[in-house]
């Protein structure tokens, strides 16, 4: 019997409007789908997060904080609903992490998707009466860099080029590109090699700017081209508008390609992926940035504010139209790789994440979405160890070093209780952390000997799952 469909489920599927058109009626009514977006800047830990989450949802022994875990009878992978999106290569990534000689998975460069279906036995009064139901969890992995392109949708080529060129004026890194642009007759007839050379120089400038810690590096596909490498939509650059742009000129063609980029690259991503997300996790390598110094933290703050800005649709006319009132219901903002810190320091890391989130939220609210900040490790690569050092006890972590393969215990430094001690020097442009030093070691994933029923070890992945999907189980 399948009578116990909650009013909430029906209301939900109605609210999901656009998406449900493609679903069959029975699927919409009886088999609710949760679309979970997983994003973060490159190397933030997206692939490891998805792999470990799926493995821990299939074997739930280490998921005590996921309240609905007991109700899940089975979890299994199914073909995803979107035929044209690459499948998230779960098996390969899991084999990398849990094989005999575990290693971190390869970097991924484009959007991918995986459907995990959960057979759930509802609890409560009606639960016992109805049979189990199926909840589909569609997990979508996409680069955070792509969200930064949202700002382009409301901008013409002239506006974008003007802003980009004026920002570049003050930067040493940009001088090569600026000179090349200044030496080009932008109103001359398009000459493809000239367009390509300008675009190539502009792109290396963007990449260097990104590495130097600037976060306003659009177009996002210039940093992470995915499968569009070399296509005309990615072969443009900002140029000053001539008085009277001639037909067939370099400037006109650049304008056309910029518009093509918006129409053929940015818009489909927001329409086909972003606009359909119900729940979102934004992963952040906060410890990596703290280790790299105040400028990296300030850059991270800027990029996170921009990324989170995409979840406040009211600010962008294009997105408001696209979403038709639908919104992301929950956003988890998670510091990853917390296994680099002894748990005694996790509250400090979480406080830094909360401060970053508040900073983004203060400027406008997330249209009613629930938000939470957390420190997690999707795959725990260390164990904790307390050591005596010159009469003091130090809370360390121990693991296998990625380089050399030796075991080592290591003390990362003491994070301040007050997050402003990290964020203020960053904002004030400090060169380094006064009187403090933060270390980070790269550990290899540990060799695992998993008891039946247990997924890979993690830190608070169950709490993260509870926040993201617990209410829907
Ligand atoms: N110790 C530890 N390291 C982690 C964890 N998650 C990720 N890492 C490290 O971070 C690196 C990047 O993780 P990925 O999951 O590949 O990150 P990504 O965001 O998918 O990266 P791209 O695909 O390149 O954008 C890994 O190679 C590990 O070195 C974790 O839970 N613990
Ligand atoms: Mg990846």
Interval 91-143: pLDDT, tens: 999 999 999 999 999 998 889 999 999 999 877 666 666 778 899 999 999 99
Give the C-alpha separation, 116 to 149, whole Å.
29
The predicted pLDDT at position 215 comes to 66
Assessment of whether the complete model's pTM goes beyond 0.95: no
Residue 368 zone, left/alpha/beta (φ > 0; ψ -120 to 50; rest): left
pLDDT band for 35, please (50, 70, 90 cuts). very high
Per-residue pLDDT reduced to its tens digit, 200-222:
999 999 999 887 767 678 898 88
Q: Which H/E stretch holds residue 471?
A: none
* Ligand 2 centroid – CA 187 distance (Å): 42
The yes-or-no verdict on residue 48 having pLDDT over 80 is yes
- 119 burial via Cβ count (<10 Å: 0-12, 13-18, 19+): middle
* Ligand 2 centroid – CA 53 distance (Å): 14
Q: Is 104 in the pocket of ligand 1 (CB under 6 A)?
A: yes
Percent of the chain with pLDDT over 90: 58
* Ligand 2 centroid – CA 394 distance (Å): 33
The predicted pLDDT at position 17 comes to 42
Q: What are 401's strand-pairing partners?
A: 443
Give the C-alpha separation, 348 to 364, whole Å.
25
The predicted pLDDT at position 9 comes to 40
Task: Count other Cβ atoms within 10 Å, centred on residue 126.
Answer: 11
Mean pLDDT, the chain, as a whole number? 88
Of 47, 244, 225, which is closest to residue 146 (Cα–Cα)?
A: 225
Q: Whose CA is nearest to atom 25 of ligand 1?
A: 42
The yes-or-no verdict on residue 367 having pLDDT over 80 is no
Give the C-alpha separation, 36 to 113, whole Å.
10
Q: Whose CA is nearest to atom 13 of ligand 1?
A: 45
pLDDT band for 70, please (50, 70, 90 cuts). confident
CA atoms within 13 A on the CB side of 85: 21
The ligand whose atoms approach the alpha carbon of 403 most closely is 1
More confident residue, 52 or 229: 52
pLDDT band for 6, please (50, 70, 90 cuts). very low
Distances (CA, A) of 196 to 166, 263, 368, 470: 22, 20, 44, 50
Q: What is the mean pLDDT of residues 219-232?
A: 82
């Amino acid at each position: 019997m399948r009578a116990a469909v909650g009013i909430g489920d029906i209301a939900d599927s109605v609210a999901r409007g656009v998406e449900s058109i493609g679903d069959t009626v029975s699927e919409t009514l009886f088999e609710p789908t949760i679309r979970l977006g997983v994003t973060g800047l490159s190397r933030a830990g997206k692939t490891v997060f998805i792999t470990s989450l799926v493995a821990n949802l299939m074997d739930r022994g280490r998921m005590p904080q996921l309240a609905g875990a007991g109700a899940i009878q089975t979890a299994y992978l199914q073909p995803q609903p979107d035929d044209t999106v690459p499948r998230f290569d779960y098996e390969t990534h899991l084999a990398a992490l849990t094989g005999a000689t575990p290693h971190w998975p390869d970097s991924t460069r484009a959007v991918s998707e995986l459907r995990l279906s959960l057979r759930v036995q509802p609890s409560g009064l009606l639960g016992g009466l109805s049979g189990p139901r199926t909840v589909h969890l569609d997990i979508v992995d996409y680069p955070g860099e792509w969200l930064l392109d949202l700002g382009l949708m409301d901008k013409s080529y002239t506006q974008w080029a003007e802003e980009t060129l004026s920002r570049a004026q003050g930067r040493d890194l940009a001088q090569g590109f600026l000179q090349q642009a200044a030496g080009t007759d932008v109103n001359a007839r398009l000459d493809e090699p000239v367009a390509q050379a300008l675009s190539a120089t502009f792109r290396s400038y963007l990449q260097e700017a990104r590495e130097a810690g600037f976060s306003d590096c659009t177009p996002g596909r210039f940093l992470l081209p995915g499968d569009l490498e070399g296509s005309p939509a990615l072969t443009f650059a900002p140029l000053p508008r001539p008085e009277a742009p001639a037909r067939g000129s370099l400037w006109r063609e650049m304008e056309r390609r910029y518009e093509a980029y918006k129409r053929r690259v940015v818009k489909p991503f927001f329409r086909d992926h972003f606009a359909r997300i119900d729940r979102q996790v934004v992963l952040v390598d906060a410890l990596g940035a703290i280790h790299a110094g105040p400028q990296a933290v300030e850059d991270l703050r800027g990029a996170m504010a921009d990324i989170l800005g995409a979840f406040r649709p009211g600010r962008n006319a294009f997105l408001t139209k696209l979403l038709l009132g639908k919104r992301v219901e929950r956003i988890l903002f998670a510091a990853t790789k917390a296994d680099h810190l002894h748990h005694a320091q996790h509250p400090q890391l979480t406080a830094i994440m909360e401060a970053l989130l508040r900073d983004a939220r203060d400027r406008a609210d997330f249209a009613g979405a629930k938000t939470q900040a957390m420190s997690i490790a999707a795959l725990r690569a260390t164990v904790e160890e307390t050591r005596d050092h010159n009469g003091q006890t130090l809370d360390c972590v121990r693991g296998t070093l990625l380089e050399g393969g030796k075991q080592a215990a290591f003390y990362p430094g003491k994070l301040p209780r007050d997050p402003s001690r990290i964020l203020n020097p960053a904002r004030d442009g400090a060169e380094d952390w006064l009187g403090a030093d933060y270390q980070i070691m790269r550990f290899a994933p540990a060799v695992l000997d998993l008891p039946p029923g247990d997924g890979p070890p993690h830190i608070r992945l169950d709490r993260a799952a509870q926040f993201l999907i617990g209410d829907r189980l």
